[in-house]
Chains A and B, each alone.
Chain A
């Protein structure tokens, strides 16, 4: 089983000299873009009382609350030194008070684990997606997802191992829309040099740290010549500083075609926001579905963990059939981020043993197990390894 070491923590500030005029007065800490050698691991937020971390927990809607309860159950059972500060966000409200509270809590704790907050798109355009607000307010610019074929899961394609790095704050998700005259709407897609360089830098650095050989930029620069053209150019510039890593690019429609026929050809992929949405969902589907893949959103100062495909799962909520794997693995990614590697590995191994050896599967991957059965199995395996655990 391949190493499931977590994705890296937050990256440095990238403030290229040529982007300075945009008013950002943060210093560049001594290194230029082209000479990153050291692993940049930001220290996790300081633990509070007696070595215990506090993490913000946002239950969200749909299957979020129940899955996060299971995460807490497993953590409590394994005596993980993490306390959760639960912050509820009511998606039915039009005011932003709830989400602002959540954002403040995350600023305070530095790390969060969240379920998806439903966006009722029947609400007026002024009521923006809460998830998106969270990402942009905290500047969580990199969405990272690692899709790997799991031996215990039946899928049409095997041997997939793709890391997807998606720009998480701008592009088509800028939420800048207006109606010029009745019946004519413009939606702005913003691509900036700074953010493109930043995400490209993140991708290459991650690729190097993980020993990956190739980074592919996904774009549509043949049509969006200026926007995606800028993104591509930034990727090329960053690539020149990493001669050990091959860089190529692919147009997004061809990419999806290639993914469904030969996904094994891809290694690391970097792309703007919307294509990231498409590609990450395609890849998640290829390795077995939304219940399996965890996702992480990294910013300079904060990290928020969730399931990779961000589904609310309303139709399967509270039925004890949802797959807890993605959320549990997201919890493990969070533990790695907090440098609690032993706990992360132990829980992760238990999850994979349940899935690949015991073959206890929930309905979404073709099995008949319930959510609680899978969770119980995970806890039993953790206990059997002889570590300190609480009572069942």
Chain B
């Protein structure tokens, strides 16, 4: 049992605080060696008028290197940047990782899903470079660079190796976007050369979509540029039950990693003890694994899945009638029993 590690906790908005509390309670029950440092990341205007995250939040994250984040709302005020975008830029979060595993006990039309989508998160179609050429003609620029492509490919193969995954599939549309997706594909192939222990395949985006909804078990680790990643990761989340049960992690340069729930803030149920903390909890489990604390991660995940499989204390979105606190308490009890 190692020493305590600090994690920057960003509860977020809406149901964020209550699900964060749930996660903290469960970690306490599991006696995980985590010290939480709560911070708020609501953007403030820095010197020079540029939006930035509060300095104490940045300092905490730079120090701890690990973050756990609840849902954030983006104020509609004009000019205010998306909070997620700001975080991404501040810490150069280049890889978005979503493991999608079927949850036994939470039935969807798809069983035995066990795949991971790794999405390049800094460029591609989301560069935000758009302009009106002449009235009625708009051009959006998709940017693909050698460096970003290589970086994401390397992360994907490292992830596969570290997590005992057998294959990595690059998803692309190089038949149509020959140069851009072609570059992405070339970089993936180059990196694959250094990871001969992991099988590398390439597949067109449309073929992946077609096959994914018929037989998702054929997929393992998928790596792709930004837009395809956005679509596919949500598609896969849909296969296992939606954003309420899907974990997500963002890997940055300089060793920073922020794990988050990707659902919304659910303002209509905020503060009513009705929220489902599963997504944030599974993201926290992902975080534990990232930190090398696999035993704690497995214990907490098992307890969570057992509670869901048992069906006795489920929150409303999972088909039950219980409160968030009851659901959480059940998991805590199971975690303690597993010791």
Contacts and interface: CB of A to CB of B under 8 A. Distances in A.
Given A186-B180, A253-B230, A289-B214, A157 B139 contact: no
A252 B231 contact: yes
A137 B126 CA distance: 29
Contact of A257 (B125, B212, B235): B235
Contact of A253 (B143, B207, B234): B234
A184 B176 contact: no
B108 interface: yes
Contact of A193 (B137, B146, B238): B137
Contact of B183 (A156, A185, A280): A185
B206 A278 contact: yes
A21 B134 CA distance: 10
A119 B175 contact: yes
B110 A260 contact: yes
Contacts of B134: 21-22
Given A125-B178, A185-B145, A281-B210, A261 B238 contact: yes
Contacts of A310: 206
A310 B206 CA distance: 10
B174 interface: yes
Contacts of A172: 125, 142, 173, 176-177
A215 to B, nearest CB: 21
Contact of B207 (A119, A124, A225, A281): A281
A190 B138 contact: yes
Contacts of A278: 205-206, 209, 231
Nearest to A310: B206
A66 B238 CA distance: 37
Interface string A57-87: 0000000000000000000000000000000
A177 B140 contact: no
Contacts of B213: 259-260, 282, 285-286
Given A172-B177, A253-B231, A257-B234, A186 B143 contact: yes
A104 interface: no
A226 B141 CA distance: 11
B176 A194 contact: no
B145 A189 contact: no
A98 B28 CA distance: 70
B138 A192 contact: yes
B144 A193 contact: no
Contacts of B232: 256
A121 B146 contact: no
A287 to B, nearest CB: 10
Contacts of B242: 257, 261
Interface string B175-206: 11111111101000000000000000000011
A156 B109 contact: yes
Contacts of B131: 226
B172 to A, nearest CB: 9
Contacts of B125: 172, 189, 223-224
Interface in B220-234: 227, 230-234
Contacts of B177: 172, 175, 177, 187
Contacts of B110: 156, 260
A217 to B, nearest CB: 16
A280 B206 CA distance: 8
A356 interface: no
14 contacts: A172-B125, A177-B180, A183-B146, A187-B142, A187-B143, A188-B142, A252-B231, A256-B209, A256-B231, A260-B239, A261-B109, A261-B242, A277-B206, A280-B206
Interface of A: 18-19, 21-22, 119, 121, 123-125, 128-129, 132, 156-157, 172-173, 175, 177-179, 182-194, 220, 223-227, 230, 252-254, 256-261, 274-275, 277-278, 280-282, 284-286, 289-290, 309-311
